[in-house]
Amino acid sequence: MQVGLEIAPRWLRQANSLDIDSSDLQRHHILLGYECVVKDSNVPRVVIYTKDYCPFCSHAKTLLRSKNVDFEEIDVTHDGRLQEEVQRLSGRRSVPQIFINGKSVGGFDDLRRLDASGELDQLLGRHT
């Protein structure tokens, strides 16, 4: 979480409704707070939910790294609550799930398609 970021009350309510305990709170706000952060920064905020055995997750991270995109990885392998959260946020059960500036952009296939079409660069604020 960025220093000085104020968490809007609605994000806190959302965290409470998910029964997120205080030790998890900061990690969750990394995602939930993105909408707030983005307004103060031109740096794209990319979050990828992964599982440790998932080849599609590795492919997605490789693609992002090949484009020099900084991202936050949230490994949900052993955390049922995080798995429920990413399902709720993305509407999907598979991993990876990728979010850019708080917007769900889907999994690896979607990321690759967006990259090929040039839409990924637009979402990342890279205007060619």
Ligand X SMILES: N[C@@H](CCC(=O)N[C@@H](CS)C(=O)NCC(=O)O)C(=O)O
Q: In the complex with ligand X, which residue's Cβ is closer, 9 or 55?
A: 55
Give contact residues for ligand X (rule: CB under 6 A): 51, 54-56, 93-96, 107-109
For ligand X, the closer of residues 10 and 113 by Cβ is: 113
In angstroms, the CA 62 to CA 95 distance is: 15
Residue with tokens 């598979």: 94
Closest distance to ligand X from the beta carbon of 59 (Å) = 8
Q: How far is the CB of 1 from ligand X (least distance, A)?
A: 27
Residue with tokens 């690896």: 108
- Vertex 84 angle, CA 119 and 68, to 5°: 30
Q: Residue number with the shortest CB distance to ligand X?
A: 107
Q: How far is the CB of 91 from ligand X (least distance, A)?
A: 14
Please name the residues in contact with 94: beta carbons below 8 A apart, sequence gap of 6 or more: 56, 107
Q: What angle do CA 97, 61, 72 make, to 5 degrees?
A: 65
CB 54, min distance to ligand X, A? 3
Closest to ligand X by CB, 55 vs 80, is 55
Amino acid letter, 13 = R
